[in-house]
């Protein structure tokens, strides 16, 4: 089981020119401004992310395809150079596909929209194939809250089913595993496992496997107060059959602040060290191949100190991960 991370915006400050840093420190630009201006430049530097993973003691990088991203504009030579560099360092790669704007129409009611979204994601899958990625992560798409019900929801699921069959086969033909990740409460369908697992079973009946990247922090967005968190928090992981486990995201949530994916070592969210131990034990028993830490910073000082936060958080979670991995191997759950 590999431990890796999606760097989101943690290293973004390094890519700002001094003039932008000065304005940012003076409060004339905010974090969202910096994301908008420098995210593409950071995301294109794949070798730097490989080096950062090694610096964190990790062996996997999930490349962030959130919009904006540079991947469809990158030259093949640059992609091949990044692929070879990652292989040389024994760091595996995966790609989180875009999930907003055009890409969110993979579950759309209009077939024309759905086809456009699938065609776009296939282009990203082709990029991932050049990079020799092992995993792909996509979201279920987005439905307006006033249509996320009844016949509209049924119609959307039919569209998503077609998209998953098509994209899952396309990824498999190129040697990659496609995963669907659960939504947050702000995209009100496919937040909980019971909403998605029956759909994956139907996809499997077509001879296509799509794995389930269940992010517990996404379901936490349904919780309004810390004391309302279900106990034990890791219980939903047990409901997911081992056959749908391969890559998985981990993160946290602070309900009172509506703070999504805070740094884990700050201990501000709903999950503590003992919770992570139990979660990693489940992952080990279920046959998870890659665990991916997702953290994003929202405050000015945190972005300035992003690299230090990355290192401290990685040290915290890797210590727990290594402790669990050193335990006697559990009896694996059958993958059927």
The answer to the question of residue 279 being in a domain is no
In this prediction, residue 336 carries a pLDDT of: 85
pTM: 0.97
Residue 202's Cβ-count burial label (10 Å; 0-12, 13-18, 19+) is: middle
> Containing domain of residue 289, as a range?
1-96+244-254+263-270+285-336
Phi, psi of 179 (to 5 degrees): -120, 145
- Buried (b) or exposed (e) across 117-151, using 16+ Cβ within 10 A? bbebbeebbebbbbbbbbbbbbbbbbbeeeeeeee
The answer to the question of residue 335 being in a domain is yes
CA distance 120 to 65: 12
The answer to the question of residue 114 being in a domain is no
Q: What is the tally of structural domains in the chain?
A: 1
The answer to the question of residue 167 being in a domain is no
In this prediction, residue 288 carries a pLDDT of: 98
In this prediction, residue 199 carries a pLDDT of: 98
Place of tokens 């024309």: 112
The answer to the question of residue 115 being in a domain is no
Locate all alpha helices (DSSP H) within the chain, ordered by sequence. 18-25, 31-44, 46-55, 76-88, 111-130, 150-173, 193-205, 216-220, 235-238, 273-286, 300-304, 306-325
CA 294 to each of CA 4, 50, 256, 310: distance values in angstroms, whole numbers, following the listed order: 9, 16, 20, 10
The answer to the question of residue 45 being in a domain is yes
CA distance 139 to 127: 18
Q: Following DSSP, what letter does each residue of 167-225 receive, concatenated?
A: HHHHHHHTT-EEEEEPP-TTS-SS-SHHHHHHHHHHHHHTT---EEE--HHHHHTT-SS
The answer to the question of residue 47 being in a domain is yes
The answer to the question of residue 201 being in a domain is no
- Residues 332 and 245: beta-carbon distance below 8 Å: no
Rounded average pLDDT per 10-residue block, the chain, 336 residues? 97 96 95 95 98 98 98 98 98 98 97 98 98 98 94 97 98 98 95 98 98 97 92 96 98 94 93 97 98 94 96 98 97 94
CA distance 6 to 87: 18
């Amino acid at each position: 089981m590999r431990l890796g991370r999606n760097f989101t915006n943690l290293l973004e400050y390094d890519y700002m020119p001094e003039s932008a840093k000065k304005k940012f420190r003076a409060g004339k630009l905010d974090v969202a401004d910096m994301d908008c201006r420098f995210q593409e430049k950071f995301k294109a530097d794949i070798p730097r992310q490989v080096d950062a993973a090694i610096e964190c003691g990790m062996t996997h990088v999930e490349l962030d395809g959130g919009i904006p991203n540079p991947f469809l504009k990158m030259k093949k030579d640059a992609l091949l150079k990044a692929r070879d560099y990652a292989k040389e360092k024994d760091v595996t790669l995966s790609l989180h596909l875009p999930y907003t704007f055009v890409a969110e129409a993979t579950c759309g009611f209009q077939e024309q929209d759905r086809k456009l979204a699938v065609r776009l994601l296939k282009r990203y899958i082709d990029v991932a194939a050049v990079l020799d990625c092992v995993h792909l992560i996509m979201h279920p798409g987005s439905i307006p809250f006033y249509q996320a019900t009844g016949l509209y929801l049924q119609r959307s699921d039919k569209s998503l089913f077609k998209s998953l069959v098509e994209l899952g086969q396309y990824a498999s033909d190129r040697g990659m595993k496609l995963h669907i990740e659960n939504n947050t409460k702000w995209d009100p369908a496919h937040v909980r496992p019971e909403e998605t697992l029956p759909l994956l079973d139907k996809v499997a009946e077509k001879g296509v496997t799509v794995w389930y990247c269940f992010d517990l922090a996404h379901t936490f967005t349904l919780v309004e107060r810390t004391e309302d968190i279900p106990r034990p928090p890791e219980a939903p992981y047990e409901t997911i059959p081992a056959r749908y486990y391969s890559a998985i995201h981990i993160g946290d949530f602070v309900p009172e602040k509506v703070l999504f994916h805070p740094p884990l070592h700050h201990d501000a969210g709903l999950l503590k060290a003992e919770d992570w131990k139990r979660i990693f034990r489940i992952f080990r028993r279920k046959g998870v191949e890659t665990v991916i830490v997702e953290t994003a910073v929202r405050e000015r000082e945190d972005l300035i100190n992003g690299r230090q936060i990355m290192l401290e958080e990685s040290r915290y979670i890797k210590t727990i991960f290594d402790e669990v991995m050193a335990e006697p191997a559990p009896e694996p759950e059958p993958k059927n």
